[in-house]
Amino acid sequence: MSERIYRQDGLSLVLTRWGGKATVTWQGVSDSRHPAQFLTPIIAELGDDLKNLEVTVDLRQLEYINSSTVLPLINMIKRFDANGKPVRVLFLEVDWQRPHRNCMSAIARTLKNVQVEGLLPA
Amino acid sequence: MDELTLDLSVAEVWASIRETRERIDHLLARHPLELRFATKMAGSELLENAAKYGAPVAGAPCISFCLTVRGDSIELITKNGCKDLEDVDRLQTIVTQISNTHDPQTLYLQMIAEAALRPTSNQGSGLGLYRIAAEGRFVLSCHYDGEIVRMLAYRSHP
């Protein structure tokens, strides 16, 4: 198992790999003015690095994202989908994450390999 | 319930947005979590817009932000200067589009889908206002006069 962390301001992306699987866990707050400047290179890097792995994007530890973060987040999911391996996207079943989950579910219907799940808080 | 207000005059906007969310959270501590989050999000997105598209003018040298919580409603107002009439037109077009829809959620999804197809540009995603209406369930209105943009987000609550 290996772990890599990308961090900027209040946002961390934690990459965990084991066997044929990987999880990208988003933690904290993404409210910078240009989140794409931080996220786009990471999306490109992970898209290539994880191309042969089943990927889970875990958003349950996100506390807040601004609207400028919505597109980079979608781009990450679409980039993983393009690899042709199963992609799970995990949301927390709480009020503030539900609209994002519904949005991602609608987008996932246009993608081939993405499954969106809402999970109850532990 | 007594009226609660949060009045801010903000010079360094970007550095203040996170703190403003915390202040809103504190002010609405006795309100339901969904309402608190919606109000924090709406205030944050309004301030971000004001920071992105605003500019100091004589009547508005910095951005002002006012949150008023009454027994049955919440009102957020931002005021900022703006000399770029194209930005103002774009803002008013979006607000009108939101006002004219009966389904802000579907409109927000459509806008996300359209934005996802556009090439990356330096312009903002433009999604914040749609999000305020869809996710926050606020009604938006916009007024421009004397180089000052006044944005109002209003929501009733039980």
In the predicted model, residues of chain B with pLDDT beneath 70 are 1-2, 119-125
Distance from CA of B79 to the nearest CA of A (A): 19
**Residue B140 forms beta bridges with which residues?**
B153
Sheet strands (E) in chain B: 4-10, 63-69, 73-81, 139-145, 148-156
Query: pTM of the full predicted structure?
Result: 0.91
Angstrom distance (rounded) from CA A107 to CA A104: 5
pLDDT tens by residue, A40-93: 999 999 999 999 999 999 999 999 999 999 999 999 999 999 999 999 999 998
Q: Distance of CA A55 to CAs A16, A68, A92, A108, B127, Å?
A: 10, 23, 18, 15, 27
Q: Which helix (H) or strand (E) holds A22?
A: strand A21-30
Q: Which chain A residues contact residue B34 at CB under 8 A?
A: 95-96
CA distances from B22 to A119, B29, B79 (A): 26, 10, 20
pLDDT of residue A93: 86
Q: Which residues of A touch B14 (CB under 8 A)?
A: 33
First to last CA, chain A: 24
Render pLDDT for A93-121 as a digit per residue (tens, 0 to 9).
887 788 788 888 888 888 999 999 998 88
- Give yes or no for residue A28 having a pLDDT over 60: yes
Contact between chains at A67 and B131 (C-beta distance less than 8 A): yes
For tokens 């979006």, name the residue: B94
Question: Minimal Cα–Cα distance from B37 to chain A, Å?
Answer: 7
* CA distance linking residue B69 with residue B156, whole number of Å: 10
At which residue do the structure tokens 């808080």 appear? Answer: A121
DSSP 3-state of A11: strand
Complex ipTM value:
0.89
Contact A102, A70 (CB under 8 A): no
